[in-house]
Structure 1
Amino acid sequence: MSEPIRVVVTGAAGQIAYSLLYIIAKGDVFGPNQPLILHLLDIPVMMDVLQGVVMELADCALPLLHEVIPTADPAVAFKDVFAAFLVGAMPRRQGMERKDLLSANVKIFKEQGEALDNYARKDVKVLVVGNPANTNALVCSKYAPSLPPENFTAMTRLDQNRARAQIAEKAGVPVSCVSNLIIWGNHSSTQVPDASHAKVMKNGTTMSAADAIQNDSWLKQEFVETIQKRGAAVIAARKMSSAMSAANAAADHMRSWFMGTSNDEFVCMGVMSDGSYGAPKNVVYSFPITIKNGKWSIVQGLKIDDFFANMMNLTGQELEEERKEAFSVIQA
């Protein structure tokens, strides 16, 4: 066994973390031979609840989990961490406007960026889950100037997982037979779910999603709208956000970043845009990504038709508007 790595989860007394912590601690993210020290951060009023989470982790008797450190102090939480799951945020509730969510959360991620800058390892891998994730990741990065911007990512893997599941159901195959769905842009209702480069294994043959489904209007209308509105649909049904699937997607995201992608696979992550595919620069934008040796790269050279290009411009504009709003909140 190697030396333990330190992993922080914020909002550790919350619903997403309740599912996520077990997945991490049992070895499903960083591997079955990697010991862990978990740092659990939450606000002071949640310390009693967090202690219950600590008790449950102890009662799981997980061999990889060497220590659990519950705290309300960012200096303790981010000290020497190798990976950070920034889950803690005000949750989106039914009827809440995205601008309201942004205003409530942006200051949290400024403070956490400063704490990462001061206390974390310089190679820390940061995943922002708390919404609005893309812009929160941007804010976090801007307030951690000693850390490379590529260390900061936002979660769109949940949207990719949702898209894979919808394509699998429509094609009549297991979800394991579907790959390379793309989510362009923002983790919001303007996101662009794109199945035009997806692969489906059906009847022993690998084919495009278009060939597997044979319904182009569905792929560009109902499918797109279903993925864009899936989070709101879950909230409407549960009266709470999609905690279980979000935790699973966060684990998937970090596992891919840590372990890498296979040669013919790409995954979706919100990363600092370099302007690829006409996306605005200096926003965190979701692209198709390949990963090798812990370093991500944007997949280049994919053909984009006008239908998706127009939608990609709109989600990019939303991210630019969010960026402006976020920094106006901070400076107010």
Structure 2
Amino acid sequence: MSEPIRVCVTGAAGQIAYSLLYMIANGDVFGREQKVILTLLDIEPMMGVLEGVVMELSDCAFTLLTQVIPTADPAVAFKDVSVAFLVGAMPRRQGMERKDLLSANVKIFKVQGEALNTYAKKDVKVLVVGNPANTNALICSHYAPTIPKENFTAMTRLDQNRARAQIAQRVGTDISNVQNIIIWGNHSATQFPDVANGTANGKAITDLVDTSYLQSEFIETVQKRGAAVIAARKMSSAMSAAKAAADHVRDWWLGTTGTFVSMGVLSDGSYNIPKDIVFSFPVEIQNKQWKIVQGLNIDEFARGKLDITTKELLEEKEEAMAICNAN
């Protein structure tokens, strides 16, 4: 057993965290040999609910969980953490304009970025789950200048998991046989789920599934899956989001083996995507360092989709940075 690592989860009294905390404490993220100390951050009015979560974590009797620290203080939550799951964010409410949503989230992620900058380990791995995740990750990194920009990522793994599941069902195979589907761009309805490099049962997906489906219904299903879950469940997709967050950090921590995973990372200009926006790319990971997969073919159809999601992210960045600069 190694020394315990400190892991922070924000929005810890919420639905996503309720599933995610189990996965972390059970060893599903950092491995069965890695002990963890959990710091749970939420707002003051949620401390009573959070106490119930702490009770349940205790009652699970996890052998890897050495301590749980519930708090409403970011200084306590981020002290010496190696990994931070930033789940909590201001959700978009009916009638809310994007500018209002970004303004509310700038306030949240400014506080959290500054606290990470001051209190967390300098090699902390940060995953932003709370939407708009890509731009929230950009804001958070902006307020944490002493932490490397590549240590801030946004979650598009949920979209990748959704896309793999759709293809597995379409082909009639186990999901483990579906590999290298890519999510490009924003975690929003403009994202581009791309199967051009994907395989199912070792064969090219484009040879197994008709193009008309792949370029229309498939993309729309993945883009709108979150809304479909809300319509059916009357609540957001918490379990699948938690699983995706666990997948994202597990691969970041333990590495990938010959497969692409989708992560929202700071663009370095690859694939002619403008620099300094958080954009979902295919990455491979070794030694806790991600690297954008290079040399993939982008055809005219794909380029059109990338341009749409890039435009949205540039607009979000412009609005968010204007708010940051005004504060």
Greater Cα shift, 92-101 or 113-122: 92-101
Match of 1:217 among 205, 212, 215: 212
Superposition deviation, residue 106 in structure 1:
2.0
**1:323 correspondence with 2:317:** yes
Q: Which residue of 2 aligns with 1:183?
A: 183
Q: Which residue of 1 aligns with 2:4?
A: 4
Question: Identical aligned pairs, as a percentage?
Answer: 69
Q: Matched residues in 2 for 1:157 and 1:93: separation?
A: 24
Q: Which residue of 2 aligns with 1:282?
A: 276
The number of residue pairs the alignment matches comes to 326
One-letter code of the match for 1:72?
Answer: A
SS in 2 for 1:4: strand
Q: Matched residues in 2 for 1:275 and 1:25: separation?
A: 37
In structure 1, list runs of 5 or more residues that go unmatched: none
One-letter code of the match for 1:42?
Answer: D
Q: Matched residues in 1 for 2:92 and 2:27: separation?
A: 30
Superposition deviation, residue 103 in structure 1:
2.6
Superposition deviation, residue 105 in structure 1:
1.5
- Contact kept, 8 Å, 1:93 with 1:241, in 2: the verdict is no
CA offsets 1:34-79 (integer angstroms, 9 cap, x no match): 0000000000010000000000000000000000000000000000
Q: Which residue of 2 aligns with 1:53?
A: 53
- Contact kept, 8 Å, 1:8 with 1:84, in 2: the verdict is yes
Superposition deviation, residue 329 in structure 1:
2.3
Q: Matched residues in 2 for 1:99 and 1:62: separation?
A: 42
One-letter code of the match for 1:260?
Answer: G
- Contact kept, 8 Å, 1:102 with 1:131, in 2: the verdict is no
CA offsets 1:260-301 (integer angstroms, 9 cap, x no match): 000x20100000000111111110000000000000000000
One-letter code of the match for 1:254?
Answer: V
Q: Which residue of 2 aligns with 1:271?
A: 265
Superposition deviation, residue 330 in structure 1:
2.8
Q: Matched residues in 2 for 1:117 and 1:149: separation?
A: 12
How large is the Cα RMSD of the aligned pairs?
Answer: 1.1
Q: Which residue of 2 aligns with 1:171?
A: 171
Match of 1:247 among 242, 245, 250: 242
Superposition deviation, residue 94 in structure 1:
5.8
One-letter code of the match for 1:221?
Answer: S
Q: Which residue of 1 aligns with 2:227?
A: 232
**1:293 correspondence with 2:287:** yes
TM-score, structure 1 normalization: 0.96
TM-score, structure 2 normalization: 0.98
Matches of residues 91-170 of structure 1 in structure 2 within 5 Å?
Answer: 91-93=91-93, 97-170=97-170
SS in 1 for 2:62: coil
Q: Matched residues in 1 for 2:175 and 2:102: separation?
A: 33
Superposition deviation, residue 100 in structure 1:
3.7
Q: Which residue of 2 aligns with 1:27?
A: 27
Q: Which residue of 1 aligns with 2:42?
A: 42
One-letter code of the match for 2:63?
Answer: P
SS in 2 for 1:289: strand
Q: Matched residues in 2 for 1:64 and 1:259: separation?
A: 17
- Closer, same or farther: CA 34–330 of 1 in aligned 2, 3 Å: same
CA offsets 1:223-273 (integer angstroms, 9 cap, x no match): 0111111111112222221111000000000000001000x2010000000
Q: Matched residues in 1 for 2:99 and 2:242: separation?
A: 24
